[in-house]
Structure 1
Amino acid sequence: MDPRLHRFSAFYFCYYAALGAYTPYIGRWVDGLGHGGYVVGGMLGLWYGTRIFAPPVWAALTGRSARPGRWFLAGCLLTLLSFAGFLFTREAWAVLAVMAVFGLFYNAVMPQFEAMTLTALGPRPDLYGRLRVWGSIGFLLVAGSYGALMDRFGATSFPLLSLPLFLAMLVAAWWHRDDTPPAPAAAADAGGHLWRRPGVRRFLLVALLMQAGFGPFYVFYTLHMQAHGHSGAAIGGLWALGVLIEILMFWQAPRLIARFGAGALLGACLAVTVLRWLLTAFFADSLALMALAQASHALSFATFYACCMQLMAGFFPGRRAGAGQSLFFGFSQGFGGVLGAAMAALAWESAGGGALAFTLGAAATALAWAIWLARRQFRT
């Protein structure tokens, strides 16, 4: 791999290391401030909601710039400054207000960076997984260690403990300040709205439903495991297993894509994920089966995401890459995330509990699989 690509690995590492602090522990911090479930839910809703609006707005600002790297650096600086606002907030309204601003910037920069990465890879988008794997490593190291740090320093220490990670992200972004914009798309790709490109709407719907299927996992997996008698250490081990498998698969993804093609692999990922959520719904008492289900994260997340990036490079070449990434990010992780979280919460509060929540996750993924199998114009 070209040594110049290592700076992309560094930013993935720092960005997802910060996410490894935010995702598992923001709820614990809010609870430590004395707020209830409505505020925690509001934080989650704002997190996913800003994923819908931030990427397209940011893409509109950066898409025509001759210095997109400077916009990217500014976005990371604003992410750091807005997160620092958590140091000075305690009241519910203030916490939610800072969350809204922080989410707008933090969720805006990654789609732009994904486009920059695909542009740098040029004719080798299959190497994406070997860069993205460093994000998984960063997430694993922080998510696995920050719980102990918060045990020692208290839940309210979360903003102070996490701020250095966002500073590191800004430093990693500095290396990209002079990145050039992608080359113009070929004439054959110049016409038509993004939505009208062959296969794009089907692809986005599949990605949305896959993300919705993950809703119960991201929101209630730990509680579901606890309800079935697993210890905190066992649950932590299951989380770690999933991320470790994810890391290994990101490294191998280029070879698999080159051998089988992104289209065929994407279908396999959807099928395996349906089985994963059904196992989690109905066999949560078995630690062995839960370990097997977590091992499938290699396909459910790592391979699926690498295949998506391979397909995105074909759907949105050249200067369309930034707008395409914002569309993908907002549609799948934004709308899909909101839909999945709402679906999971309603199921969890019903008599069906975790079993119903994960069954609905399997149903959403099965629908995505059916849409995938019925495709006619999908390019791979």
Structure 2
Amino acid sequence: MRSDTSVALRLSTLYAATFFGIGVSSPFLPVWFRGLGLSPDQIALLVAAPLVVRILASVWTAGLADGRAPAGRILVAANLLVGLGYLAAAPGWAFPVLLLLTASIALAQSPIIPLSDVLAIEAAKSRPRLHYGRIRVWGSLSFTLATLLAGAAVGWLGSGVVPLALGASYLGAAAAALLVADLDRDDAPRPAQPSAGRVRLPGALVLVILSAAMIHSSHSMMNAFGSISFEAAGVSPAGVGGLWAVTVVVEVALFSLMGRVGGGRAPPYGFLCVGGAAAALRWIGMGLEPGPGAIALLQLLHGASFGATHLGTIGAFASLAPAAAKARLQGALVASISLASALATVASGPLYGGFGARAFLAMAPVAVLGLVFALAAWRLAPQPQSAREGGNTSPPS
């Protein structure tokens, strides 16, 4: 049985390695696509296609971990395939080939985040000394470092360095995944006889999934055209990396202070409400075509628009998700977010092409809808009871 410190270090390393690649792709993959001469509509399709693939793949691949396939070993194989896929895309092929490659990469990538979260959540629940937020925060810090390094590299070497950096990043993540290759067996045991039939979902959990899907998908315009919009506002490639790095400042603080799974007094639905409200405010601000200084301030809202939404979702899953289907439900969450994000991303292409930065305004109502779902989930969720009233229905701290 490994020590708590060993488990925390292994999971922290996994998150750091995984999010390094995301820190390269989120700001600079669209910049590379534009450097290849692709149109806004083609860029939107290339960003949306992986989301569509994840809709089909996430539930099945994550569900493997509810069966016999070890989650850690799936992570090794998935990261390896993603790294090789990006290296194969590096020559900058014609649009149809790039579309096929990005879809293939997404297929391999689909189980990475859900299974990483399953391992971390189960380890944190079975080991009270582990703090999920302080493990997950290393992913955020790595994301920050990656955006800064990638911004400098693109400014020095050009956008063609992006797929090479991504290939190297995910091959490194495959090596990091070896550290947790048997962690699910040792530290997050599954029931001996998991249910093979349908699992009844609490209504509040369904609303949480809808809320997370709306709030996260409202980020689609930023994910597809944020960096391009920053450059149009006069920001250099290194500055673009800096603006993405700024997003993590509040996120790191939030994960460090408030990220204990099942602990603390703040209900997860409150986090979701904060995330939805912050996202709506952020997209309204971006739609007003701000300058670089105002963009930096708006980027700070990412800590709430993403970070609070993520913590709220994780907290709700920890308390509401049936034990026999946790990985499948994580996959369902990813599929739901991917579906909503794919639709929003496809719409982002013509919107940005026609309206420029003002197109961000279209994302605000999507975030507000997520806020409405969060409020409904809060109302429907089981309320904590005192021991005298019949026991404690809230997750143990």
Give TM-score scaled by structure 1 length: 0.87
- Structure 1 runs not aligned, ≥5 long: none
| Cα deviations by residue, 1:112-155 (Å, 9 ceiling, x for unpaired) | 12111111112559922211111111111111112322333343
SS at match of 2:132: helix
Counterpart selection for 2:210 from 181, 205, 212: 205
* CA 94–68 in structure 1, closer or farther in 2 if over 3 Å, else same: same
Contact kept? 2:147, 2:241, Cα under 8 Å: no
Contact kept? 1:213, 1:361, Cα under 8 Å: yes
Deviates more, 1:128-137 or 1:25-34: 25-34
- The answer to whether the aligner puts 1:302 opposite 2:304 as a matched pair is no
Deviates more, 1:199-208 or 1:231-240: 231-240
Please give the alpha-carbon distance, in whole angstroms, between the structure 2 residues aligned to 1:142 and 1:325: 26
Give the drift of 1:58.
Answer: 0.8
Contact kept? 2:86, 2:164, Cα under 8 Å: no
- The answer to whether the aligner puts 1:47 opposite 2:50 as a matched pair is yes
Counterpart selection for 1:366 from 359, 365, 368: 368
- Aligned Cα RMSD in Å? 2.9
Question: Paired residue for 1:136?
Answer: 140
Counting matched residue pairs gives 374
- Structure 2 runs not aligned, ≥5 long: 383-393
Please give the alpha-carbon distance, in whole angstroms, between the structure 1 residues aligned to 2:239 and 2:34: 23
| Cα deviations by residue, 1:157-178 (Å, 9 ceiling, x for unpaired) | 3333332211210110111111
* CA 39–348 in structure 1, closer or farther in 2 if over 3 Å, else same: closer
Deviates more, 1:199-208 or 1:253-262: 253-262
Please give the alpha-carbon distance, in whole angstroms, between the structure 2 residues aligned to 1:137 and 1:163: 20
Give the drift of 1:367.
Answer: 1.7
- The answer to whether the aligner puts 1:325 opposite 2:330 as a matched pair is yes
Please give the alpha-carbon distance, in whole angstroms, between the structure 1 residues aligned to 2:274 and 2:365: 16
Question: Paired residue for 2:19?
Answer: 16
Give the drift of 1:313.
Answer: 1.4
Please give the alpha-carbon distance, in whole angstroms, between the structure 2 residues aligned to 1:161 and 1:374: 42
Deviates more, 1:63-72 or 1:49-58: 63-72
The residue identity in structure 2 corresponding to 1:141 is: L
Please give the alpha-carbon distance, in whole angstroms, between the structure 1 residues aligned to 2:161 and 2:310: 33
Please give the alpha-carbon distance, in whole angstroms, between the structure 2 residues aligned to 1:223 and 1:28: 7
Give the drift of 1:267.
Answer: 1.7
Please give the alpha-carbon distance, in whole angstroms, between the structure 1 residues aligned to 2:319 and 2:94: 47
SS at match of 1:258: coil
Deviates more, 1:286-295 or 1:299-308: 286-295
SS at match of 1:144: helix
Please give the alpha-carbon distance, in whole angstroms, between the structure 1 residues aligned to 2:285 and 2:130: 31
SS at match of 2:111: helix
Percent sequence identity over aligned pairs: 23
Please give the alpha-carbon distance, in whole angstroms, between the structure 2 residues aligned to 1:33 and 1:225: 19
Question: Paired residue for 1:151?
Answer: 155
* CA 37–50 in structure 1, closer or farther in 2 if over 3 Å, else same: same
Counterpart selection for 1:95 from 94, 98, 113: 98
Contact kept? 1:126, 1:254, Cα under 8 Å: no
* CA 82–237 in structure 1, closer or farther in 2 if over 3 Å, else same: closer
Contact kept? 1:194, 1:324, Cα under 8 Å: no
The residue identity in structure 1 corresponding to 2:74 is: W
| Cα deviations by residue, 1:289-313 (Å, 9 ceiling, x for unpaired) | 4343222222111122112111111
